[in-house]
Structure 1
Amino acid sequence: MASYLVTYTDGSEQHIPADSVFRDVDYPQYVFHDDDHNTIALAPSTGVLSIVRMPETPSVKAVTG
């Protein structure tokens, strides 16, 4: 799953793991979805400076044996 870094105008940041994001035109918010298109997070569109999709890294698998 991808990850988004949301930066707000007050300087705070929030990491949101999601596969996609879109701006809801009916409500002042951004909607984050997983790969099944389920809503997993909401962020208010007022006060958002930027939303950046972070590079995906390969999954680390545990080795047992």
Structure 2
Amino acid sequence: MAQYFTTYTDGSEQHIPADKVHFETDEDQYVFTTNGEPTAYAPRVGVLSIVRMPEPSQSKAVTG
């Protein structure tokens, strides 16, 4: 499952675990979903950025 790092215009931050995120135009909000079900919401007003973080299983170890 992906982790989304959400930054708000007031300087606060939130990590949201979800499979996907999309913008719902009718409700004017971002909807985070897991297995097709909504798990979190973020209003459009106040969201500065949403960044999908790499999944741990996709990270590579550095050896040297």
The answer to whether TM tops 0.5 is: yes
Q: Normalized against structure 1, the TM-score is what?
A: 0.83
Name structure 2 gaps, 5 residues minimum: 58-64
Aligned residues: 57
Q: Which structure shows the higher helix fraction?
A: 2
Matches within 5 A, 1:45-64: 45-58=44-57
Q: Normalized against structure 2, the TM-score is what?
A: 0.85
Name structure 1 gaps, 5 residues minimum: 59-65
Runs of 4+ in structure 1 off by over 3 angstroms are none
- CA RMSD after TM alignment: 0.7
Q: Which structure shows the higher strand fraction?
A: 2
Amino-acid identity (%): 61
